[in-house]
Amino acid sequence: MKKIAALMLLLCLLLGGCAKSGPVETEIFAMDTYMRIRVWGDSGLVSDVCDEIYRLETLFSVTDEKGEIFALNRDGKAALSAETAELLAKAAALSERTGGAFDPTVYPLVRAWGFTADEQRVPAQDELSALLPSVGVEHLQLNGTEAVLTGGAQLDLGGIAKGYTAQKCLLYLENEGVQTAMVSLGGNVQTLGTKPDGSAWVIGIADPNEPSEAVATLTFTGSMALVTSGGYQRCFEKDGVRYHHILDPETGLPAGSGLASVTVITSDGTTADALSTALFVMGLEKGAEFWRGSDDFEAVFITQEGKIVATEGAAAMLGGCEFEVLAR
Ligand code: ADP
Ligand code: MG
């Protein structure tokens, strides 16, 4: 009897301990991907975060008629909310910074490939060539919260919206007094603070050949955004050729830069998302040069041959695999 009581007590302590320091967690499907939200603290905040995600999903969607990007694409001009205008300004700046490798005006191309409607097809070269002149961030004019699209341009924020949303969610939680949280929105992970037990965050990098498995881990403490762009996501095969959803805005074709994935690590989720897409388009060599000219992010590149290359700062966090280090 005593033994059972002692066991019960131990169980209570364990469960009690967990309830006190463990996170409240939920999973939702939004922005066309699975998302996980973990908050250490007030459980009600998790559903607030979900509402916030659904709200931003509508705002930035290319297909939701209630959204601002939908209206801007349809009408060629729109009066935007401060949030959408903020995201567009950031997207335009990141497009310029990356020499157009990240380009929020790729929507005509994305549609031609059928990625939006999930009706993938291989467009003819003529069709792509006809669309290319409308692609380019110079076609997006922002005047405060007024936006105008010229030259038949249309926006697709798929390469940046999840990063912005992750950033916004954590900012909301921080303002609510939460000290520790983590969101994982598709390939976009962002952490807030340090876990109550002081243990480090350990985030897996998906194996491009087996995306449900981790090929490596990144270990760190504190607030950080880690975003992976991979050619293994949203892809299809036609006549034995594999086509994926990250397009080279110069050619209109899926970026064939020799990379299987890129993970960007930086403090700002929006920047991390745009840069991961951009570096995937650039490839290892150009991406390494771009990193050497920057001082606000680290990256892990995985080549199509399976070679893992980490920038100096990323190398310090990377484990569970063999890798090469990129020096400055
Ligand atoms: P994911 O959305 O799978 O996390 P990314 O962040 O790399 O991956 O974004 C890819 C999405 O961004 C595509 O599905 C498309 O909507 C859009 N996109 C494709 N190519 C580009 C590009 N070169 N620049 C900006 N956005 C792009
Ligand atoms: Mg991205």
CB 316 within 8 A of CB 299: no
* Ligand 1 contacts CB of residue 156 (under 6 A): yes
Task: Give the position, in ligand 1's atom list, of the atom nearest the Cα of 229.
Answer: 7
- 106 alpha carbon, closest ligand: 1
CA of 318 to the centre of ligand 1 (A): 25
The two structure tokens encoding residue 248: 């080279």
CA of 136 to the centre of ligand 2 (A): 17
Which pLDDT score is estimated for 18? 42
* Ligand 1 contacts CB of residue 186 (under 6 A): yes
Strand partners, 77: 148
pLDDT digit string (tens) for 103-145? 999 999 999 999 988 899 999 999 999 999 999 999 999 999 9
* Ligand 1 contacts CB of residue 247 (under 6 A): yes
Residue whose C-alpha is closest to residue 152's, from 186, 111, 116: 111
Long-range contact set of residues 300-304: C-beta below 8 Å, sequence gap at least 24: 300/205, 300/216, 300/218, 300/262, 300/263, 300/265, 301/259, 301/261, 301/262, 302/205, 302/208, 302/215, 302/259, 302/260, 302/261, 302/262, 303/258, 303/259, 303/260, 304/208, 304/258, 304/259, 304/260
- 235 alpha carbon, closest ligand: 1
- Residue to mutate, 69, 102, 106, ligand 1, most ligand atoms under 8 Å from C-beta: 106
pLDDT digit string (tens) for 193-227? 999 999 999 999 999 999 999 999 999 999 999 99
Which pLDDT score is estimated for 8? 40
* Ligand 1 contacts CB of residue 273 (under 6 A): yes
* Ligand 1 contacts CB of residue 229 (under 6 A): yes
CA of 4 to the centre of ligand 2 (A): 53
pTM comes to 0.93
Integer Cα distance of 131 and 139 in angstroms: 13
**What residue has token string 């076609």?**
139
Distances in Å between the Cα of 77 and the Cα atoms of 60, 71, 102, 171, 269 are 15, 8, 22, 29, 27
Task: Give the position, in ligand 1's atom list, of the atom nearest the Cα of 107.
Answer: 16
Integer Cα distance of 268 and 148 in angstroms: 27
Integer Cα distance of 244 and 255 in angstroms: 8
Which pLDDT score is estimated for 148? 98
State how beta strands 324-326 and 308-311 pair.
parallel
DSSP assignment of 116-171 = TTT------HHHHHHHGGG-SGGGEEEETTEEEE-TT-----TTTHHHHHHHHHHH
| 95-134 per-residue burial string, b: 16 or more CB within 10 A, e: under 16 | bebbebbbbbbbbbbbbbbebbeeeeebbeeeebeebeeb
Residues 296-324, mean pLDDT to the nearest whole number: 98
Q: Using the predicted structure, report yes or no on whether residue 190 has a pLDDT greater than 90.
A: yes
Task: Give the position, in ligand 1's atom list, of the atom nearest the Cα of 32.
Answer: 2
**Residue 322 CB coordination number (10 Å):** 7
Report all structural domains of the chain as residue ranges with CATH numbers, in order of start: 1-328 (3.10.520.10)
CB 248 within 8 A of CB 280: no
Phi and psi at 123, nearest 5°, equal -70, 150
CA of 32 to the centre of ligand 1 (A): 12
Distances in Å between the Cα of 211 and the Cα atoms of 33, 207, 215, 261 are 14, 5, 9, 11
CA of 214 to the centre of ligand 1 (A): 22
Which pLDDT score is estimated for 234? 86
Of residues 14 and 62, more confidence is placed in 62
| 34-46 per-residue burial string, b: 16 or more CB within 10 A, e: under 16 | ebebbbbbeeebb
- Residue to mutate, 245, 286, 302, ligand 1, most ligand atoms under 8 Å from C-beta: 245
Task: Give the position, in ligand 1's atom list, of the atom nearest the Cα of 280.
Answer: 7
At residue 49's C-alpha, the angle toward residues 45 and 54, to 5°, is: 145
Residue whose C-alpha is closest to residue 265's, from 214, 308, 205, 211: 205
